[in-house]
């Protein structure tokens, strides 16, 4: 844990005060999947006490950094979120005000926290270091639960659904897709971490993503690696990589032709590889469950007959939503797509304004003068968030999405990036 405390301190804005360390700890707990355990082990009151503590430390830090200026880039997104919540409450035919209030409170809280995190390069480095240890800790928990599944009976783990014969593991997150998303986001943050801490986090992140067998996370990771070698690497490196890939392709071609049956057997017996390559989700359908395509068809039908203003806030979660608490003949599972989910909740107008806002921010990031490596890192952050939104309807309703969108809007023009990379 030495790397967590490796960022040096100095006066004023860059001083790492106890309040800031508490802030980083709370954000790491939220990002690391530990937060729900607080409710399981204690009560809802304990959860609200954590939020109260978060605001206490943020108010203390408010005196040290100009949060009102740091939050300015986030204002358009905050206005859209408030509009989405208000519209969704008015469009709903069921009581949803309390859920909307909680969503607004939490989103604003995370935005303020990220503004503080990005107020100085050393503060960003400490946060990045802490997130790498989140991956290490979750990987350790995953290995322990894989080796000793009987610990699943412990109260804190009973929501994780880990067994000795499971083909997907997700650490303390419990949900493999969420684990993949958080791991990808932390891999991006590793750019600002201390070098040795970053590599420990990256290795842990790669292993976690592999163990989740999340198609979305793995294909995004592969896409980012390919894009880096094509765009980010220098010309000489690209030539060398092209030669290496050429040799590998030829080698694999002859190997496949000579031992095709053995290769297919290996792929089929490897649970992660077989799931990632199963694009049509034949295993899911074979178990009698709806695939993503089946769900999309059901939700698209509902979208085609919905009123112009949408079905209301949290409708995108389907009939199993704990927030709405009603059954309207919707699918039991959520839309698994943020963009379709926004259309379901608040109609075309809400979705169009969201896409316009995101498009504007992407142009702003492109035009902001930054180091090429920083631009590539921000592009990776946007790529992960926006592509994952095609497979996850919770991107605006849970911690990973709140943190990701806050970083997309606040980070590009933050003091932490203007001061350069440590």
pLDDT value for 265: 53
Predicted confidence at residue 174, as pLDDT, reads: 76
In angstroms, what CA-CA distances link 413 with 64, 199, 285, 351, 364? 19, 26, 46, 26, 10
- Report the share of the chain in percent with pLDDT over 70: 77
Number of domains in the chain: 1
Instruction: Output the pLDDT for position 307.
Output: 92
CA 253 vs CA 196, 239, 244, 250, 263: distances in Å: 37, 21, 14, 5, 11
Report which of 161, 104, 191 is spatially closest to residue 420, judged by C-alpha positions: 191
Alpha helix locations (H) across 259-291? Answer: 260-269, 271-277, 282-286
> Which pLDDT score is estimated for 263?
47
Full-model pTM? 0.86
State residue 272's pLDDT score: 66
Question: Are 23 and 61 spatial neighbours (Cβ–Cβ below 8 Å)?
Answer: yes
Task: Report the pLDDT value the prediction gives residue 1, as an integer from 0 to 100.
Answer: 37
Q: What percentage of the chain carries pLDDT values higher than 90?
A: 49
User: Which stretches of the chain score pLDDT less than 70?
Assistant: 1-14, 150-167, 232-290, 419-422
Angle ∠(162,166,171) on CA atoms, nearest 5: 40
How many whole angstroms separate alpha carbon 350 and alpha carbon 389? Answer: 16
Range of the domain at 38: 2-418
Residue 350: CB atoms within 10 A of its CB come to: 21
Name the residue with tokens 């303020």: 112
Q: Which residues contact 271 (CB under 8 A, 6 or more apart)?
A: 167, 168, 213
Token couple for 268? 């089929």
CB 1 within 8 A of CB 194: no
């Amino acid at each position: 844990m030495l790397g967590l405390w490796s960022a040096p301190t100095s006066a004023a804005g860059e001083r790492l005060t106890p309040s800031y360390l508490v802030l980083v700890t709370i954000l790491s707990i939220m990002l690391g999947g530990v937060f729900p355990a607080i409710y399981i082990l204690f009560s809802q009151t304990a959860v609200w006490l954590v939020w109260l503590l978060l605001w206490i430390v943020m108010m203390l830090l408010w005196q040290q950094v100009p949060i009102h200026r740091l939050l300015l880039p986030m204002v358009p997104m905050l206005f859209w979120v408030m509009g989405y919540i208000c519209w969704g409450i008015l469009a709903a035919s069921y009581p949803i005000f309390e859920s909307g209030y909680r969503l607004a409170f939490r989103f604003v809280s995370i935005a303020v926290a990220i503004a503080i995190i990005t107020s100085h390069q050393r503060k960003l480095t400490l946060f990045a270091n802490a997130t790498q240890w989140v991956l290490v800790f979750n990987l350790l928990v995953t290995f322990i639960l894989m080796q000793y599944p009987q610990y699943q009976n412990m109260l804190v783990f009973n929501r994780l659904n880990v067994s000795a014969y499971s083909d997907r593991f997700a650490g303390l997150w419990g949900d493999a897709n969420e684990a993949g998303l958080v791991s990808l986001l932390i891999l991006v943050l590793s750019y600002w971490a201390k070098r040795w801490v970053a590599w420990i986090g990256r290795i842990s992140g790669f292993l976690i993503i592999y163990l989740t067998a999340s198609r979305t996370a793995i294909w995004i990771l592969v896409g980012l690696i390919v894009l880096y070698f094509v765009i980010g690497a220098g010309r000489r490196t690209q030539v060398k990589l092209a030669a290496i890939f050429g040799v590998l392709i030829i080698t694999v071609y002859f190997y496949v032709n000579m031992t095709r049956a053995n290769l297919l057997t290996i792929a089929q017996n490897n649970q992660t590889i077989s799931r990632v390559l199963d694009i049509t989700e034949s295993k899911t359908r074979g178990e009698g469950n709806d695939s993503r395509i089946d769900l999309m068809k059901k939700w698209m039908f509902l979208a085609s007959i919905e009123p112009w203003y949408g079905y209301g806030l949290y409708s995108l979660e389907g009939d199993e939503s704990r927030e709405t608490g009603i059954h309207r003949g919707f699918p039991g599972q959520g839309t698994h797509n943020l963009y379709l989910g926004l259309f379901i909740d608040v109609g075309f107008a809400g979705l169009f304004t969201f896409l316009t806002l995101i498009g504007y921010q992407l142009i702003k990031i492109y035009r902001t003068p930054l180091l090429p490596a920083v631009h590539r890192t921000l592009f990776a952050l946007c790529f992960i968030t926006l592509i994952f939104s095609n497979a996850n309807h919770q991107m605006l309703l849970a911690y990973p999405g709140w943190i990701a969108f806050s970083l997309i809007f606040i980070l590009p023009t933050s003091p932490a990036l203007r001061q350069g990379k440590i």
